[in-house]
Amino acid sequence: MKPFGVRLRDAMGRHGPVCVGIDPHPQLLRAWELTEDVEGLKRFADACVDAFAGRVALVKPQVAFFECYGSGGVVVLEDTIAALREADTLVVADAKRGDIGSTMAAYAQAWLTDGPLGSDALTVSPYLGFGSLAPALELAAANNRGLFVLAATSNPEGAQVQLARAAEGRSVAQTMVDEAASRNAGAEFGSVGVVVGATLTQAPDLSNLNGPILMPGVGAQGGGADSIRALVPAQSLGAVVPNVSREVLGEGPSVAALRTRVTQLADEFAFLQS
């Protein structure tokens, strides 16, 4: 298996750069006229698999919306991840795990191996120190999986930590990007990506990352082509993976309508690959 970064770049070349989220929150279940239980969750997830498998570069299930249904919800998540990956569709589990030592190693084992929750990549939080991610970084590299490190998120509370500056003047967010870049040095296209909100007014310098830039906040939250261009250097636009969720999922439950919206968005963001 090729490294995650290379596989993602290849998938973006085939399908366009868009990452589609699977976020079965209660409002969407109701909008799709589904029950707010494991059966409704399963029907939602199955429709998303039918709509997105083999058609998008990356799919991002939001783990919390499955976990809230207990063990039954986790089974649905396992089945969803397996079905997407069997269809040769890359999956990033949006679990935002972050801890230290053996606990971080256990999270990595859960998400970055061939176990029941095994995914192609995992979102992680570095705010116990980037070094705390070492077990996940090591296992991801060994298994040709990837990580997306939270760097500059668009929630207003994030600025309190992420824009704080160290003695040399570098922001915490920039430190996280630079740490990720150091793991990608020498790679064809690195497997340690970062998460940068598309609705920010400023972003860290991403020019040396040599890895994917996952940008949530596109579509319903207000981000789009103009905001991406304003935040990302021109030479790095090809690494941007716009993340859309509500913008697509609002078209359901029709699988045909979901597919149509994905195709439209792939066309809209084709400039990233030019």
Q: How far are the Cα atoms of 91, 130, 157, 168, 193 from residue 48, in angstroms, in the given order? A: 13, 33, 31, 46, 24
Residue 218's beta-bridge partner residues?
223
Q: What is the largest CA-CA distance in the chain?
A: 54
**Distance, CA of 17 to CA of 267 (rounded, Å):** 10
One of 2, 42, 60, 96 is an active-site residue; which one?
A: 96
Question: Active site includes 96?
Answer: yes
Those residues with Cβ within 8 angstroms of residue 226's Cβ, 6 or more apart along the chain or in another chain: none
Q: How far are the Cα atoms of 75, 154, 169, 234 from residue 157, in angstroms, in the given order? A: 33, 8, 21, 28
**Distance, CA of 265 to CA of 245 (rounded, Å):** 11
Contact between 153 and 122 under an 8 Å Cβ cutoff? The reply is: no
**Distance, CA of 241 to CA of 259 (rounded, Å):** 18
Residues annotated as part of the active site:
96
